[in-house]
A and B are shown apart, each in its own frame.
Chain A
Amino acid sequence: MQASRTSAGRSAVSTAEHAPLTVTNEPLLLFDEVSVEYQGMNRAAVSGLSFSVQPGERVALVGPSGSGKSTILALAAGLTLPSRGDVQILGVSSDVIGNRRHRPVRSRIGIVGQDYALVGPLRAATNVAAGRLGQWSLPRAVRTFVRPGPVDEIRRALNAVGIEDKIWERTDRLSGGEQQRTAIARTLFQGPDLLLADEPVSALDPARSEAVMAVLAEQAADGHRALVASMHDAPLALRHCSRIVAMRLGRVVFDRPSSDVTDEHLSALYLLDNQATE
C-alpha cells in the first residue's frame, strides 16, 4: 500500500529521483507453475511457466507467433487469469487484483497492448491523460475529460515518442504507428512500477523503434521499476533489455541475461521457428 503512495503523482519522463520503494527485494512479478488453456485450442497457450521479474530488470520476451508472449503479458496485467498456478503482480495475486481495494496496486501497472486499446473518438491528449485515472478521483478525472489535465506533462510524454504535434488530433485519425506511440505516451504519463508492453514497436520504422525502446528502457533504469516487453526484433531486444526470455509453443526455451545470449541461441530459436511452421 505504501509503495503506491510513492508512485502516485510521479511525473512522466522526468529524470527526478523517485522516493525509494519500501520493499525492494520483493519481485514485481512472480509466475508460479502457470498454465493457461483456451477453450477449443488443442494445446495450452502457456504451460508450467515459472519465473520472476525483479525491480530494475528490463525483460524481453522473444519467440515465434503463437508462442505465448501475449498471454504472459495479459497474465501479468491481470487481464487473463491462469487456468492453473498463481500469478503475483506487485505482491498481489491476480485472482484478487481486480478487487476495488487493490486499485492503488493496479494504478502501478502500465499496459501497452498489442491492440493499443485506445479510445478512437477521443483526442490523443485525453487518451494520454487516461493513464492517471488510477491516481485521480472521479471528479478530477471528469474535469480532465472536458479540458485535458496537465497539458505540459502530456506534451512531454508525447514529445518523448516524437508525436507532440498530434496532441489535439482525434486518436482514430492517427496512423497505426502514431496510435502505438500514443499508447506508450500514456504509460510514460502514468509512470508505472511495472511496465508491460506487447510488441511496443511493431508499427514503427527501425530508427523510431530504437528511440522508443530507449525511452521504455529508461523507465526501468532507476532500479525500482521493471519493463517486460514482447519483441520480434531480437537484436533490438539485446540492445535495450537486460534479460531475454525465449518462448516457443507456450514454454520457455531459454531465460538468460542479454550479455549471455549468443548468435547460436538466437539462430537455434529461428531454426525451431522454421521447424514449427513446416
Chain B
Amino acid sequence: MTTAVVSAAHRRATPPARWDRRGWLVAMVVVVGWSVSSAGVNPTELVNERGWSQVSQFFRAMFSPDLSPSMVELTIRETAVTVSFALLGAALALAIGLVGGVLLTERIWSPQHGPMTRGRPGWVTTRVLFALPRSMHEVVFGLLLVNILGLDPLVAILAIGIPFGAVTSKVFAELLDDVPIAAERNLRAAGAARLTAFVFGTVPQAVGDLVSYAFYRFECSLRSAAVLGIVGAGGLGFQLALSFQSLRYDQMWTFLWALIFISGAADRWSSVVRRRRDALAAEIHLDVRRNLDGRRDGDAGTVVDDSGPVGDRFLRLSALVCALGVPVAWWWLEVDVTNLWADRARQLAGELFSDAWPPTTGPGGFAELTTDAFDTVALAVLSLAMAFAVASPLAFLARRPASRRRGPGAMIRRLAGLALRFVMLVSRSVPPPVWAFVVVFVLFPGLWPGAVALAIYNAGVLGRLQGEVLENQDSRPARTLVAGGASAPGALTFATVPAVAGRFVALGLYRWEVAIRETVIVGIVGTAGLGRRLDEQTSAFDYDGVVATILALFVVTLVVDFTSAGVRRSLR
C-alpha cells in the first residue's frame, strides 16, 4: 500500500506541498500581524516629528568625538575594563560549560550497555537546573548582583559568566552528543570507567567545535559587557550612560568608537579562528576520504598548508593570548573573590531573598503580568521580523566577493560591501539601550521604540552570522551553473539562495530566542513589556514582584524556545 502511495506521488504534475512548513508560514504571518496591531499603526500617534533634529545631532557627533587627552586616557582605561569583564566572563562561562556540558550529555547518564534513555532522573534534573539561568538575560543578573555587591567587577563577571555558562553547557552537550558513540562504547566494553571512556573516546572528537564556540561566546561577552556597564557595572557602558545623562554626544561617540573598534577586532579574531578551525576540520575530513577511496583525485583545488592541527601558529597564539589574558584581566580589575561572602554582601543577599519570596504579581495583578508578557513576545517578534527583512539582503550585498576580479565594477562592489559591513558593525557594536535612547527621540513610548532599537542591533548581529554562512557556502554548485551558461543572478537564485535559505531562517529563529531575553535591556529605557516592569520593580526594591516577573520571562522563553525548535525541525 505504501508503494502505491509513493508511486502515485511522483506522477503529479506539481510537487507535493510541505504542509508543516505552510502551517508555520501562516502562523508566522498571523503572529507578525498581531504584533504590529498591538504596537499600533497610526503614524501620528507614533512618530514625534520634532525629535529628528536630536537624532541628526547625535549622528553628526559621530564625526567629532571628544578627543581631549583626558578623555582619551579615560576611554583607554574603561576599554580595558570592558575587555577584562568580557574575558573573565567568557572564562567563567567556559569553565561552567565544560562541567555542565558533560553533565548535560545524554551519554554520560546512559547505562553501561544498552540504549540511550532520555528519561533518566539525573539527566532531567540537570536539564531543568540549567534552563532557568539560560532564560535570563545578563542584565537581569546584573541588576540583582548590583544590589548585593555594589559597584564590584564581580557583578559583570558573574552576570556574564552564569547565563553564558548555562548556554555554553547546553551547546557543548549537544556538540558532544553529536560525536559518534562507537569509540566510547568500545572503551567502555573494554573495561574503562564511564568518565574515562568519555574523556578519551568522545571529547577529543569534539574539541575543535568546542573551541570554535568558546570564541563565539567571547565575542558575545564583549557586547554584553558594554550593556552591563549601562546598568551600573562599570566600564565603557557606564561612562556611556553618564555622558548620555549630560547629553554630551561628542563624549558618547568617543566611547562608542572604542566599542566599535574592540567589537570589530573581536569579531574578526573570532571568525578567523573559527575559519582556520573549519579549514583544518575540512582538511582532516578530506584526508580521511582520500584514504578510504582512492577515487578522489588530488586536484580538488583545496590546498591547505601542511601544518597539522596543532601546528597552526595563529591558533596557538590565540590560545596563548587567552591564557595570559585571564590573569592580567584579574589583576587589572583587582578582583577580590572574598567580597562574595563579605558580611555586607551576605546580609544584603539575605534581605533580598527574604524580600523576594513568595513572589507577588503586584497591584496590576495577574492580568497585567500577562499583558506585559504578551507585549514582550510582540516586541521580540517585531524586532526580529524587521531585523531579518533588513539583514538577509544586506548579508548578500555585503559579502566579500569570492573571485579576484578587477575593474571599476568589481571595485565599486568591494567598496559598497566594505561600507555595508561597517554599517552592520556599528549597528551591533552600539549597545541596544543606546539605540533605544536615540529612537525614543522620534518614536513615542510604546512597543515600537524598543522594537526598532532591538531591530537595529539584531540586524547587525544577524547580518554578520548570515554573512558567515554565505562565505562558508560551497561555491561549486553556483560555479558549475555559471560555467554551463547561467547568469550570475540565475546562479544566485538557483544555487546560493536555496542552499542558505534554511540556515538564514534558523539563524533568525535563534536570534528571536535571544531577542526575547534582550527585551529586558530596552525595557530599561522604559519602552514596554516585562523589561519595563522589571526595571520599575528593581528601582522600587520590589523583589517579590521581580521574582514573579522573572518567572513570567522564564515561561515566555520556554514557549518561544519550543516554538522555534518546532519550526527548525520543519526546515530539515
- Which residues does A use to contact B, with CB under 8 Å? 36, 38-41, 45, 65-71, 74, 77-80, 98, 100, 103-111, 113-115, 117-123, 125-126, 130-131, 133-136, 138, 141-142, 145, 147-148, 151, 164-168, 190, 192, 199, 202, 232
Contacts and interface: CB of A to CB of B under 8 A. Distances in A.
Contacts of B489: 138
Contacts of A119: 477, 494-495, 498-499
A21 B317 CA distance: 62
Given A65-B296, A119-B495, A165-B7, A133 B485 contact: yes
Nearest to B489: A138
Interface string B449-490: 000000000000000000000000000110111111111011
Contact of A65 (B297, B483, B493): B297
Task: Pick the most buried of A40, A107, A119, A138: most chain B CB atoms within 10 A of its CB.
Answer: A119
A74 B300 CA distance: 10
Nearest to B12: A168
A145 B10 contact: no
14 contacts: A40-B303, A65-B297, A77-B480, A106-B482, A107-B484, A107-B486, A114-B297, A130-B486, A134-B487, A138-B493, A148-B14, A148-B15, A168-B16, A192-B484
B490 A68 contact: no
A111 B480 contact: yes
B10 A164 contact: yes
Contacts of A164: 10
Interface in B112-150: none
B299 A130 contact: no
B485 A104 contact: yes
Contact of A202 (B16, B295, B300, B487): B295
B15 A125 contact: yes
Contact of B493 (A98, A131, A141, A166): A141
Chain A at the B interface: mostly helix, strand, loop or mixed?
loop
Contacts, number: 140
Given A110-B484, A133-B484, A166-B10, 7 more contacts: A107-B486, A111-B483, A117-B479, A121-B499, A133-B491, A141-B493, A151-B14
Nearest to A198: B297
Contacts of B299: 36, 38, 45, 66, 68, 70-71, 74
Interface of B: 6-7, 9-10, 12-16, 294-301, 303-306, 476-477, 479-487, 489-491, 493-495, 498-499, 501-502
A169 B487 CA distance: 26
B7 A40 contact: no
Contacts of A141: 486, 490, 493-494
B303 A117 contact: no
Given A121-B498, A121-B502, A103 B493 contact: no
A38 B484 contact: no
Contacts of A135: 485
A69 B297 contact: yes
Contacts of B13: 151
Contacts of B295: 65, 114, 199, 202, 232
A106 B484 contact: yes
A117 B483 CA distance: 12
Contacts of B303: 38-41
A113 B484 contact: no
B298 A66 contact: yes
Contact of B476 (A115, A131, A232): A115
Contacts of A148: 14-15
Nearest to A140: B490
Contacts of B306: 40
B485 A106 contact: yes
B477 A118 contact: yes
A163 B154 CA distance: 64
Nearest to A98: B482
B18 to A, nearest CB: 10
Contacts of B491: 133
Given A68-B299, A80-B301, A133 B294 contact: no
Task: Pick the most buried of A106, A117, A148, A192: most chain B CB atoms within 10 A of its CB.
Answer: A117
Contacts of B494: 119, 122, 126, 130, 133, 141, 145
Contacts of B15: 123, 125, 148, 168
Contacts of A151: 13-14
Nearest to B14: A147
B485 A109 contact: yes
B9 A134 contact: no
B545 to A, nearest CB: 47
Contacts of B477: 117-119
A194 B15 CA distance: 31
Contact of B480 (A39, A117, A136, A232): A117
A78 B483 contact: yes
Contacts of B305: 40
Nearest to A39: B303
Contacts of B493: 138, 141-142, 145
Task: Pick the most buried of A40, A130, A141, A164: most chain B CB atoms within 10 A of its CB.
Answer: A130
A120 B490 contact: no
Contacts of A202: 295
Nearest to A152: B13
Nearest to B494: A130
Nearest to A125: B15
3 pairs of A and B residues whose beta carbons are closest in the complex? A134-B485, A107-B485, A133-B486
Task: Pick the most buried of A69, A121, A125: most chain B CB atoms within 10 A of its CB.
Answer: A121
B386 to A, nearest CB: 25
A65 B298 contact: yes
Contacts of A45: 298-299
Nearest to B13: A151
B290 to A, nearest CB: 9
Contacts of A118: 477
Contact of B10 (A40, A68, A70, A165): A165
A228 B500 CA distance: 32
B268 to A, nearest CB: 25
Contacts of A67: 297
A78 B484 CA distance: 9
Contacts of B479: 79, 117
A40 B480 CA distance: 25
A88 to B, nearest CB: 15
Contact of A133 (B296, B298, B300, B487): B487
A142 B10 CA distance: 22
Contact of A168 (B9, B481, B487, B502): B9
Given A40-B305, A40-B306, A41-B298, A136 B490 contact: yes
Given A65-B297, A109-B483, A138 B490 contact: yes
A113 B301 CA distance: 13
Given A122-B498, A145-B493, A148-B15, A113 B480 contact: yes
A177 B297 CA distance: 19
B401 to A, nearest CB: 14
